[in-house]
Amino acid sequence: MQQKLYNLIIKRRSIRLFKQRKVPSAVIKKGVNAARLAPCAANLQFLEYLVVKDKLLREKIFTYTRWAGYLYPRRTPPAGMRPTFYVFILMNKEKSQNFDLRDVGAAAENMILTFLEQGVGACWIASLDRKSLGNFLNIPKNYEIDSVIAGGFAAEEPKLEQDAKNIKYWLDKKNRLHVPKRSLKDIIYFDSLTTLQA
């Protein structure tokens, strides 16, 4: 069981190009349920989720998002390859006034990995016009939009690269996304920060 989870974590990459096939609501609910059960500071449970599947709503939402900062606008999904659903991560101010954003991170990663387990790709987006989205979606004032998970069946397979110096992802000549990550040996220490363990 642990090996399966680890393999999902290794496989996970942000997906920005999507097949235009509907994702069943049951798949999305399973992802949100996994988010609901993530660790939560003081068990305040201030996170709530708005799922948007409607095509016309999705088209408008897309205009309030910004994609792939290092490759903008080249990796902005074109028409016909955009997300088939969005899950907004909302913070309910009536549940807490001091949001612990680690709760958001834990919930988002649980959701993304659960989607991936079911064959669904996702991109976690924080570059949003929150005010316009809040108005457009009629989100009550006691909620604050933190971020959104854009999802759908993946139409791309980004490639992981080991690179200790470069943090910028890039596109190759075939339009495949390459994502550099620092190697394990460059970030892990045992017992002391003065000695890097191989």
Q: Which residue has the higher pLDDT, 101 or 113?
A: 113
pLDDT at 83: 98
| Range in 125-134, 152-161, 179-188 the model is least confident about | 179-188
pLDDT at 97: 82
Residue in 53, 62, 50, 57 with CA at minimum distance from that of residue 21: 53
Is 31's pLDDT higher than 60? yes
Q: What are phi and psi of 63, to 5 degrees?
A: -70, -15
Q: 33-47: per-residue pLDDT in tens?
A: 999 999 999 999 999
8 A C-beta contact, residue 84 and residue 20: yes
Q: How far apart are the first and last CA of the chain?
A: 27
- The reported pTM is 0.93
Is 3's pLDDT higher than 80? no
Structure tokens at 159: 């490639």
pLDDT at 186: 86
- Work out the pLDDT band at 198, boundaries 50, 70, 90: very low
Residue in 42, 28, 1 with CA at minimum distance from that of residue 153: 28
pLDDT at 127: 97
Domains, the chain, with CATH or none: 2-157 (3.40.109.10), 158-198 (2.20.180)
